[in-house]
Structure formats: C-alpha cells, structure tokens
C-alpha cells in the first residue's frame, strides 16, 4: 500500500484469484484499522497544503499523472488482465488504460472558476468553490483502473486529498496507480489501503473523511449511506443498473446487431450501464434474435492475454455462480437459449455469450442485474407498453432506443426513467458529459464540469 507517500506493508495478506485460471496468483496486503487511520491522517495533513496549491499546479500534476499512465500503459494493461480477466484487446485492458489517461487529461483541462452572482451598487456576491477535505473512494472490480481515475482525478483537481480502497478482487492496478501518482504528487495527497468490505464500512463511518465516492452494488451503496449517516458525509453513489433497450419497428436488425451486441456484452456484461434487457417488436423478434446470436458466434471468448480474445472470463466465482443460477432459472421457466447457456468446459470462470428469448417479465434474469454475459430478449406489441415495462424497475442508470428515425427514437428515449439515454448505441460515456443514475442506481454525477463540482462546497461571499 502507499500511505503518506511511503510504502506501507501490512501484517496480514489475502489471496487474489486470476479469473482465467481460478487460482490465487498473488497476495495482497490487508490494511489494519490503524493503517486506515494513518492513511486518513496523512491525507488530512497533506490537505492543508494541497488546498492552497495554485490550480495551475494541480492541473500540471494531473497532466504529469496522465503521462505516467501512458508511459506505463503496457505493463499496467497486463496486470489488469491478470487480476480482472478482461482481454488486452477489444474493449479490454489497453482500452481501459487509454481511457484512464484521456480522462485524467480531460479532468486537468476543466475550469475552476468562481461565479459572480451580483455586482452592482448594492454590493457584490461571489460563489466560491472550496475543496471538501479528505475524500474516501471505494471502487468495484469491473473497471478497477478507470473507476479509480474517475474518483481520484476530480477530487484532486478540486483540491481534496484522497484515501482509496479498491475491490479485494482487483486491488493491484490501483496499488500500482497510487505508486505512480505519488511520483507526481506531494506525499499524502493520494493514499491507498486494501482489504475487504469491512474496511469499506470503516471508511464510510470514519470521522475524519468528509466525502465518500462509491461505485458498486446497490446493497453496498445502501450500507455506505447508512455508515456515513452519523458523520453526515457528502456522497456520490454510482450503483447498479438494469438498463433497457427498445428497438423500434422501423429498425434494421442486421444494421443494429453489432451495436446491440457490444452494448450488452462489453466487458462480458460486467458493466454498470450495459444493455441488460432488450425489448423488440413482435414483427422483428425472430430477426433480431437471429442477428444477435449470429454476431455472438463471431466473437472469441478466451484467455485475456491471448491477443485474439475479444472477451474474457467472468471476474469471480461469486459472480459466475450468480450468472449460472440466473441462466439455469431462465431455462427452467421457459426461456429459449439462442446461444451459450452452459459454462465453458475449461478452468477459470468462463461463461459463453448467452442470448435468451421467450422469458416472462418476472423472470429473475429480467428483474435482477445479471452483471454477466447473458441477455434476455423480450417481445412487445405496443410501444407504450414497452416503455412502461422498461421503466418498471427500481434502477435508473441508462437506456437506449434503436431506429433509423433518430428524432423519433430520441422522443421515445426521453420517456425512459434513467440518467443517460442513447440513440442507436448503448453505454457510451465521455469526459465532457455528466454520467449518473436516478432511482436506486444512485445519485450525484461524474465527469465534466458537473462531476467536478461534486468535489467542492460552495461558499457565498457577500462583500
Ligand atoms: P460491491 O458493492 O460488492 O463492491 C464494491 C466495493 O464496495 C468493493 O471495494 C467492496 O469491498 C466495497 N464494499 C462492499 N460492501 C461494502 C460496505 N458494506 N461498505 C463499504 N464498502 C463496501 O460491487 P462489485 O460487485 O464490486 O461491483 C459490481 C456492482 O457495481 C454492479 O452492481 C455494478 O452495476 C456496479 N457498478 C456501478 C457503476 C456506476 O457507475 N453506476 C460502475 C461500475 C459498477
């Protein structure tokens, strides 16, 4: 770990499994409570200078961090594949490293400006932006590096200091990231502690952390909110999704198959804003199912270190078992398996791309977030009914509408209850567009000016 700018070994360790083999491939330090306190103290000390550091210096530090990420991209990508399973190629580890550097630069380029609310004979009123203090960051295992960047960079740019805790399933790229960041930043500005869910709970309850930024499951998000209540921490919660896509009757199944496929199966479906339920008009149902299953047969699933692989294994055994249970239940309850449907016959947590037709709306695979490579395709007769079914979820992260008539698709999209809507694509994110969920997918946004603003408090100055 890195605490106060120095390496921090731990007395205890836990094994981390490579999902490609299903075997432990390395030991990770397990932070004690004292080490968490030490990390928070280091961040608090560093905050005194960092909050007063000129913004241009902070910008330059982020740019330097981006350069370091670019220089170390290939070994970092390999480490990411080892711990996460995703392929080096396709929308995999190299893509994630590229995104991490690009997001860091984009965050460096944002503007931090005070706002003059009034300036007249009656006086001047200025809205200042002030950093909050110590930010605690907790990240999941699906995009461990990218999500760490999304938390850490805006927090730093705004003048906060950070203690980050990665998922115990994928701790190593974050440990390495923080090591690298400490080459560009003063000691204590970014600290990393590793450990299990209890460590996350202690962070959320910690009296000297001012804000938590959490990305993970809805259940853990609720727990973070509960643990944070006594200290009334600011929160950004990016939680689970069960995104719906609606194909309109004028769509061409062959033309949309590839976009639908990657919208659903990016990172083996282990993506918060992936397409997780697809609604298709009855007249196109067979053709869309065939086109999806046909495209799936062209995509190679295999060892992430193999340059030919486009998708890797499911990341961990718990997720693998959950996925298998959902697909088995779908088969028992009348689902038709169009491709996949059984674990692959090899070591590790490999599950093939699976498309399932003919399920009822109350099937577990439709209602729950599968977070894996299995997509239910559901038919509809009436568009209003499809919109109502898409919205009949406690989640509200993203949604998509598919049609050559973009204006009409956008109109339907606006009726979806979610934080982001896409036309003829699903899951696209950019550093210049805020991203976040509604309903139980969380609150607060990341990216762009609006995302940066979550790391300030506003101080109103009358003078
Ligand atoms: P998870 O909630 O199990 O774990 C995420 C992190 O939270 C880990 O670091 C874990 O150790 C920690 N944690 C677990 N319980 C905690 C508790 N009670 N208090 C504090 N910390 C705790 O999630 P996961 O399985 O790693 O990730 C998958 C989930 O993340 C999916 O639901 C997915 O949709 C969601 N996700 C959301 C977004 C988004 O931007 N909305 C992005 C990626 C992933």
Among the atoms of ligand 1, which is closest to the Cα of residue 318? 25
Question: What is the predicted pLDDT for the residue at 137?
Answer: 99
What is the helix, strand, coil percentage profile of the chain, to 5? Answer: 40, 25, 35
Instruction: HSE, CB side, 13 Å, CA atoms: give it for residue 265.
Output: 29
Task: Tell me the CA–centroid distance for residue 239 and ligand 1, in Å.
Answer: 7
Percent of the chain with pLDDT over 70: 100
Q: What token pair was written down for 274?
A: 């992936």
Query: Residue 22: which pLDDT band, with cuts at 50, 70 and 90?
Result: very high
Query: Are 59 and 157 within 8 A, CB to CB?
Result: yes
- 27 catalytic? Reply is no
Question: What is the predicted pLDDT for the residue at 166?
Answer: 99
The Cα–Cα gap between 90 and 306 comes to 11
The Cα–Cα gap between 308 and 321 comes to 26
Tell me which of 28, 38, 96, 272 is the catalytic residue. 272
Query: Are 26 and 16 within 8 A, CB to CB?
Result: yes
Query: Residue 280: which pLDDT band, with cuts at 50, 70 and 90?
Result: very high
Query: Residue 106: which pLDDT band, with cuts at 50, 70 and 90?
Result: very high
The Cα–Cα gap between 112 and 216 comes to 28
Among the atoms of ligand 1, which is closest to the Cα of residue 435? 40
| Alpha-carbon dihedral 227, 230, 231, 233, rounded to 10 degrees | 50
> Phi first, then psi: what are they for 137, rounded to 5°?
-120, 130
Query: Are 86 and 305 within 8 A, CB to CB?
Result: no
* Token pair 């294994």: residue: 313
- For residue 51, which of 455, 446, 460 has the smallest C-alpha distance? 455
Task: Tell me the CA–centroid distance for residue 142 and ligand 1, in Å.
Answer: 9
- For residue 240, which of 265, 219, 213 has the smallest C-alpha distance? 219
The Cα–Cα gap between 52 and 314 comes to 44
- For residue 440, which of 242, 280, 209, 265 has the smallest C-alpha distance? 242
Query: Residue 335: which pLDDT band, with cuts at 50, 70 and 90?
Result: very high
- For residue 328, which of 299, 364, 378 has the smallest C-alpha distance? 364
Mean pLDDT over residues 128-148, rounded? 98
Query: Residue 65: which pLDDT band, with cuts at 50, 70 and 90?
Result: very high
The Cα–Cα gap between 183 and 179 comes to 7
Q: What is the pLDDT of residues 3-13, one digit of tens each?
A: 999 999 999 99
Element (H, E) at 408: helix 406-414
Q: What angle do CA 177, 181, 186 make, to 5 degrees?
A: 150
Element (H, E) at 360: none
Taking only Cα atoms into account, the Rg of the chain, rounded to an integer number of angstroms, comes to 23
Question: What is the predicted pLDDT for the residue at 182?
Answer: 98
Question: What is the predicted pLDDT for the residue at 287?
Answer: 98
Please give all residues whose beta carbon lies within 6 A of any atom in ligand 1, as ranges: 138-142, 147, 165, 167-168, 196-197, 200-201, 204, 215-217, 220, 223-224, 238-241, 272, 369, 371, 397, 437, 442
Percent of the chain with pLDDT over 90: 100
Query: Residue 253: which pLDDT band, with cuts at 50, 70 and 90?
Result: very high
Choosing from 83, 217, 447 the residue with most ligand 1 atoms within 8 A of its CB, the one to mutate for a pocket test is 217
The Cα–Cα gap between 196 and 30 comes to 8
Question: What is the predicted pLDDT for the residue at 187?
Answer: 98
Query: Residue 79: which pLDDT band, with cuts at 50, 70 and 90?
Result: very high
| DSSP label at residue 194 | -
Q: What token pair was written down for 311?
A: 């998708």
Mean pLDDT over residues 296-315, rounded? 98
Q: What is the pLDDT of residues 222-244, one digit of tens each?
A: 999 999 999 999 999 999 999 99
- 342 catalytic? Reply is no
Query: Are 9 and 29 within 8 A, CB to CB?
Result: yes
> Phi first, then psi: what are they for 395, rounded to 5°?
-90, 160
> Phi first, then psi: what are they for 17, rounded to 5°?
-95, 135
Among the atoms of ligand 1, which is closest to the Cα of residue 169? 26
Task: Tell me the CA–centroid distance for residue 319 and ligand 1, in Å.
Answer: 12
Question: What is the predicted pLDDT for the residue at 32?
Answer: 98
Full DSSP string of 85-98: ---SSSSSHHHHHH
Tell me which of 38, 83, 96, 238 is the catalytic residue. 238
Choosing from 137, 212, 216 the residue with most ligand 1 atoms within 8 A of its CB, the one to mutate for a pocket test is 216
Mean pLDDT over residues 307-319, rounded? 98
Mean pLDDT over residues 171-195, rounded? 98
């Amino acid at each position: 770990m890195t605490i106060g700018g120095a390496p921090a070994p731990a007395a205890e360790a836990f094994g981390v499994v490579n999902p490609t083999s299903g075997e432990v491939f390395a030991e990770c330090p397990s932070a004690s409570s004292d080490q968490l306190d030490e990390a928070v103290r280091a961040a608090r000390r560093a905050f005194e200078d960092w909050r007063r550091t000129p913004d241009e210096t902070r910008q330059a530090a982020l740019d330097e961090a981006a350069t370091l990420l670019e220089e170390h991209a290939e070994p970092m990508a390999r480490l990411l594949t080892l711990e996460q399973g995703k392929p080096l190629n396709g929308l995999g580890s190299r893509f994630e490293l590229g995104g991490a550097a690009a997001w860091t630069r984009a965050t460096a380029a944002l503007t931090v400006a005070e706002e003059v609310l009034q300036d007249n004979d009656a006086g001047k009123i200025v809205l200042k932006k002030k950093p909050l203090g110590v930010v605690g960051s907790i990240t999941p295992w699906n995009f461990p590096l990218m999500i760490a960047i999304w938390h850490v960079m805006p927090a730093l740019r705004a003048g906060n200091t950070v203690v980050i805790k990665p998922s115990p399933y994928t701790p190593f790229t974050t440990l390495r990231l923080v090591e690298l960041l400490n080459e560009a930043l003063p000691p204590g500005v970014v600290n990393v502690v590793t450990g299990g869910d209890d460590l996350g709970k202690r962070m959320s309850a910690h009296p000297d952390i001012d804000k938590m930024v959490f990305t993970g499951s809805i259940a853990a998000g609720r727990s973070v909110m509960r643990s944070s209540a006594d200290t009334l921490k600011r929160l950004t919660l990016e939680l689970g999704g069960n995104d719906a896509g609606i194909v309109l009757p004028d769509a061409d199944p062959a033309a949309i198959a590839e976009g639908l496929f990657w919208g659903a199966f990016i990172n083996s479906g282990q993506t918060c804003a992936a397409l997780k339920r697809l609604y298709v008009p009855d007249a196109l149902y067979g053709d869309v199912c065939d086109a999806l299953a046909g495209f799936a047969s062209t995509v190679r699933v295999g060892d992430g270190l193999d340059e030919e692989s486009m998708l890797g294994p499911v990341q961990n055994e718990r997720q693998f078992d959950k996925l298998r249970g959902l697909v088995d239940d779908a088969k028992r309850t009348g689902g038709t398996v169009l491709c996949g449907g059984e674990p692959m016959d090899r070591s590790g947590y490999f599950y093939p791309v699976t498309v399932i037709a003919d399920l009822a709306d109350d099937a577990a695979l439709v209602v729950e977030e599968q977070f894996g490579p299995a997509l239910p395709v559901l038919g509809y007769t009436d568009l209003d009914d499809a919109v109502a079914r898409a919205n009949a979820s406690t989640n509200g992260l993203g949604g998509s509408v598919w049609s050559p008539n973009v204006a009409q698709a956008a109109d339907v999209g606006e009726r979806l209850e979610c934080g982001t809507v896409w036309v003829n694509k699903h899951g696209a994110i950019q550093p210049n567009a805020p991203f976040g969920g509604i309903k139980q997918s969380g609150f607060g946004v990341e990216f762009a000016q609006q995302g940066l603003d979550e790391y300030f408090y506003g101080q109103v100055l009358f003078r």
